[in-house]
Amino acid sequence: MKKSVWLPAVIAPVVVAGAVAAPALAGAATTPVAGNDPTAAAVIASIAESSDAQYSGKLSQSSDLGLPELPSGSGGSSLEGDASDALGLLTASHTARVYVDGADKQRIQVTEQLAEQDLVRNGDTVWTWDSEERTATRVTLPSRTDETPGSGTTTPTEVAERAIDAITPTTTVSKPVATSVAGHDAWLLTLTPKSSDTLVGTVQLAVDQQTGLPLRAAVTAAGEDDPAFQVGFTSLDYGAPASRLFDFTPPSGADVTTKDLSDVDPGTGHADGSAGHDGAEHAGATVSGSGWDTVVTLPAGTADQAGLGTDAAGLLDQLTTSVAGGRAVQTSLVSVYLTDDGRVLAGAVPVAALVAAAK
């Protein structure tokens, strides 16, 4: 069970918040937010400006989801391998170095003890590297299709205003307030779900006042004061990183895998350009509910495909409890329900809502 399997569940509330701003990000680049009293739409629209930003910095991620702490070191811990890694991701803090030179060059380095994991993008080539496993994967991305610009009569701020109007039935968007992150002045937005059925209390996003770069995101559980999940810059310097940082060659003896996605239509996700399923179904997953109460259901066999087999049985027994029709775990932000027939349901809702959705 690799860490990537758990990432969607951990960051689901943040993804929801990101989806709120997505329509605004599709607009053309705008200018930094001017004045001392910007609207929420103006702050969201300014994020588009950061797509070509050049910077390097250090990110820190912390999680307090109400799961048990993983014993450190191999001694005294009955959990080993990928299962141990997964629980560590959910309970421990992590730091990463980030290097960005515009939209097509990025590098993320995560170093823990003596191991390092890297993700390096240079144009249409993406490398991932795990020094502990000595495995590397090269992915060739699909070519970008040229998008036809709009008429020019709609500004990014206007697009952002429409995005905010679209989410107000489910979410309250605060007026921006000034804050500081890693020594940079920022505007802080708070999104508060109107639903009383979600586990999420608030999502906060801090955006650099000058560049529009998102500097910190924090998700707080309903009824709590401190974030259950937070990721943000602890240091940040603007300017182009050294070009060598975006070049990667697998070390001698590494196990290298290649994936060619160059024929995939970026607009559809399919090589033949077909649109595929509608918004209610993606790669076998079905989506029910809406907004903050959305529940994602993965089909039978998903757990086995993700590596949740015999080796992880002990971990699952410790994390989950028996409920009607299966086993489940409810963290402060996300619940996961493993049904007896092999399905997996997840959402930022209580376990009871997942059990009801599985019927």
Residue 199, in any domain of the structure:
yes
Same-domain pairing of 144 and 228: yes
DSSP state of 311: G
| Highest mean predicted confidence (pLDDT) among 36-50, 85-99, 181-195 | 181-195
Question: Would you say residue 147 has pLDDT above 80?
Answer: no
Residue 269, in any domain of the structure:
no
Position 349 scores a pLDDT of: 94
Greater confidence (13 vs 238) lies with 238
Same-domain pairing of 160 and 235: yes
Q: Do residues 24 and 45 lie in contact, with contact meaning Cβ atoms separated by under 8 Å?
A: yes
Same-domain pairing of 112 and 228: yes
- Amino acid, res. 143: S
Position 164 scores a pLDDT of: 73
Residue 248, in any domain of the structure:
yes
In the structure encoding, which two tokens stand for residue 318, read together? 């410790």
User: Which structural domain, as residue segments, surrounds residue 344?
Assistant: 283-358
Same-domain pairing of 294 and 183: no
Query: Confidence class of residue 128 from pLDDT cuts 50, 70 and 90?
Result: very high
Same-domain pairing of 246 and 194: yes
Residue 56: Cβ within 10 Å count: 19
Domain final residue pick, 260, 275, 297? 260
Same-domain pairing of 253 and 295: no
Same-domain pairing of 313 and 209: no
In the structure encoding, which two tokens stand for residue 328, read together? 């489940």
| Highest mean predicted confidence (pLDDT) among 25-34, 61-70, 305-314 | 61-70
Which of 50-59, 165-174, 185-194, 320-329 is the least confident region?
Answer: 165-174
- The Cα–Cα gap between 349 and 359 comes to 16
In the structure encoding, which two tokens stand for residue 191, read together? 């999104």
Lookup result for tokens 């823990």: 112
Same-domain pairing of 119 and 240: yes
Q: CB-hemisphere CA count at 13 Å for 126?
A: 15
Residue 268, in any domain of the structure:
no
Same-domain pairing of 166 and 305: no
Query: Confidence class of residue 154 from pLDDT cuts 50, 70 and 90?
Result: low
Residue 275, in any domain of the structure:
no
- The Cα–Cα gap between 137 and 258 comes to 6
For residue 176, give Cα distances in angstroms to 5, 16, 209, 304: 34, 19, 11, 45
Q: Which residues of 147-169 are buried (b: 16+ CB within 10 A; e: fewer)?
A: eeeeeeeeebbebbbebbeebee
Residue 101, in any domain of the structure:
yes
Query: Confidence class of residue 266 from pLDDT cuts 50, 70 and 90?
Result: low
For residue 272, give Cα distances in angstroms to 92, 139, 277: 42, 19, 14
For residue 48, give Cα distances in angstroms to 26, 160, 164, 180: 7, 10, 15, 20
Position 70 scores a pLDDT of: 46
Same-domain pairing of 225 and 318: no
pTM here?
0.77
DSSP alpha helices (H): ranges in 92-212?
156-167
Give 202's strand partners: 220
User: What is the domain-level CATH number for residue 180?
Assistant: 2.50.20.10
DSSP state of 294: -
Q: Do residues 213 and 237 lie in contact, with contact meaning Cβ atoms separated by under 8 Å?
A: no
In the structure encoding, which two tokens stand for residue 334, read together? 């996300």
* Residues 6 or more apart in contact with residue 251 via CB below 8 angstroms: 134
- The Cα–Cα gap between 202 and 195 comes to 11
- The Cα–Cα gap between 339 and 42 comes to 44
Domain final residue pick, 245, 260, 275? 260
Residue 191: Cβ within 10 Å count: 24
- The Cα–Cα gap between 12 and 24 comes to 20
pLDDT tens for residues 6-51?
333 333 434 444 444 443 333 333 344 556 789 998 898 888 878 8
- Amino acid, res. 207: V
Same-domain pairing of 301 and 165: no
φ/ψ of residue 192, rounded to 5: -120, 115
Residue 266, in any domain of the structure:
no
DSSP for 20-74, written as a single string: HHHHHHTSPP-PPPPSSS--HHHHHHHGGGGGG-EEEEEEEEEE--SPPPPPSSS
For residue 167, give Cα distances in angstroms to 20, 157, 192, 270, 351: 7, 15, 11, 29, 25
Query: Confidence class of residue 328 from pLDDT cuts 50, 70 and 90?
Result: very high
Residue 272, in any domain of the structure:
no
Position 271 scores a pLDDT of: 57
pLDDT tens for residues 161-177?
776 777 888 999 999 99
Same-domain pairing of 82 and 185: yes
Q: How many structural domains compose the chain?
A: 2
* Residues 6 or more apart in contact with residue 339 via CB below 8 angstroms: 325, 326, 345, 358
Domain final residue pick, 225, 260, 295? 260
Question: Would you say residue 357 has pLDDT above 80?
Answer: yes
- Cα-based angle 305, 310, 312 (whole degrees, multiple of 5): 80
Position 295 scores a pLDDT of: 92
Question: Under the phi-then-psi rule, with left for phi > 0, alpha for psi from -120 to 50, and beta for the rest, what region is 326?
Answer: left
Position 304 scores a pLDDT of: 56
